[in-house]
Chains A and B, each alone.
Chain A
Amino acid sequence: QKEVEQDPGPLSVPEGAIVSLNCTYSNSAFQYFMWYRQYSRKGPELLMYTYSSGNKEDGRFTAQVDKSSKYISLFIRDSQPSDSATYLCAMNSGNTPLVFGKGTRLSVIA
């Protein structure tokens, strides 16, 4: 079992839809949880950063962490074609390198 599991998709939604992306993990030491967005042939860029359990909102994006279930989610409201990208979850314990999920490929259709 990989430390971080993420459904690779692809996921295709119409413009304006709410998108839900998620990851599960097995290492209970993970405390820092991130979502990166990666456009085709580009490097990943940080989208959301959460410490421990709870919710964090930034504009159309909401990140949720449930440490008891070892489950994290990213919600995108009012999705736009420009949101089409691969979304990578990543996490670590704070003193170890980031471990990434496989990434979910999202297409938002106009």
Chain B
Amino acid sequence: GAGVSQTPSNKVTEKGKYVELRCDPISGHTALYWYRQSLGQGPEFLIYFQGTGAADDSGLPNDRFFAVRPEGSVSTLKIQRTERGDSAVYLCASSLGLAGELFFGEGSRLTVL
């Protein structure tokens, strides 16, 4: 498809487990963003990639969260030792650059039991 693709769409896990969420951006978009949206809240910035490098990871809540984009395209958000408070929709977006329009995927809904 032509849009941003996120997998899985839903993930249920147990407290303490490790989770990976994948984002496949629009082809040609160099910028990739991860946001987290809790119920009734707006998206909160986590991390931004320009190419392969994390240009801004100031939104990552703690060191249990990590993201990579090794080839400048697909990105993976990794969450270690999940906690119930990590339950949220994790949104990925891509754009042509930091000032460009953000195109969002449908999100990965994470539930930590």
Contact = CB atoms under 8 A, between A and B. Distances in A.
Interface of A: 4, 6, 8, 32, 41-46, 49, 88, 90, 94-103
Q: Interface on chain B toward A: helix, strand, loop, or mixed SS?
A: loop
A43 B42 contact: no
Q: Interface on chain A toward B: helix, strand, loop, or mixed SS?
A: loop
Interface residues of B, number: 23
Given A43-B107, A44-B104, A46-B102, A97 B42 contact: no
Interface stretch (B14-22, B43-51, B60-68, B73-81): B43-51
Contacts, number: 53
A94 B97 CA distance: 10
Contact of A100 (B43, B99, B101, B106): B43
Contacts of A43: 4, 91, 93, 104-107
Contacts of B41: 102-103
